[in-house]
């Protein structure tokens, strides 16, 4: 892996059956720095899940694990982080945020973070 991509997991969970949990674990296994925001303040391994929006620096990728309805309150926040890309995991596809991303020169990508990591496409 040539370089790491600091990733914000939005919709993070400490429930091992949730895809956001698996994404945190796999991102860390691939040595990507991870920030996380979820419904409760907990930790997954060495990653702190924050309840509130944080002023993170250097976010390369925002990977979404929130339904389109639950994404709305984060639009301005996501754009303010100026990530290089937003990954819309299955079930999170959102035309409105997709277009906002494009308008702000952020690459919107539909895909599965877990598959992208496994296949070397992350």
pLDDT at 2 over 80: no
Q: Which domains are seen in the chain, by residue range? A: 7-118 (3.40.50.720)
pLDDT at residue 24, rounded to an integer? 98
CA separation for the pair 35, 45 (Å, rounded): 12
Q: Is the pLDDT of residue 1 over 70?
A: no
Q: Return all residues near 115 (Cβ < 8 A) that are at least 6 apart.
A: 121
Cα–Cα nearest to 74, from 97, 106, 98, 107: 97
User: Which pLDDT score, from 0 to 100, does residue 17 have?
Assistant: 98
Across the chain, which distance is largest between two alpha carbons, in Å? Answer: 36
Pairing of strands 47-50, 42-44: antiparallel
The model carries a pTM of 0.96
- pLDDT tens, residue by residue, 3-47: 899 999 999 999 999 999 999 999 999 999 999 999 999 999 999
What is the per-residue pLDDT across 55-111, written as a single tens digit (0 to 9) for each? 999 999 999 999 999 999 999 999 999 999 999 999 999 999 999 999 999 999 999
Residue whose token pair is 């919107």: 108
Instruction: Look at residue 3 in the predicted model and tell me its pLDDT.
Output: 80
């Amino acid at each position: 892996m040539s370089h790491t991509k600091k990733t914000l997991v939005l919709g993070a969970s400490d429930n091992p059956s949730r895809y956001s949990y698996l994404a945190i674990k796999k991102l860390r296994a691939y040595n990507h720095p991870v920030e996380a925001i979820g419904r409760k303040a907990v930790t997954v391994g060495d990653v702190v899940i924050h309840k509130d929006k944080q002023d993170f620096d250097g976010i390369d990728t925002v990977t979404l694990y929130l339904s389109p309805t639950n994404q709305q309150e984060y639009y301005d926040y996501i754009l303010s982080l100026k990530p290089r890309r937003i990954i819309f995991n299955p079930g999170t596809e959102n035309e409105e945020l997709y277009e906002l991303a494009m308008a702000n020169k952020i690459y919107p990508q539909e895909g599965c973070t877990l598959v992208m990591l496994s296949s070397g496409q992350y």
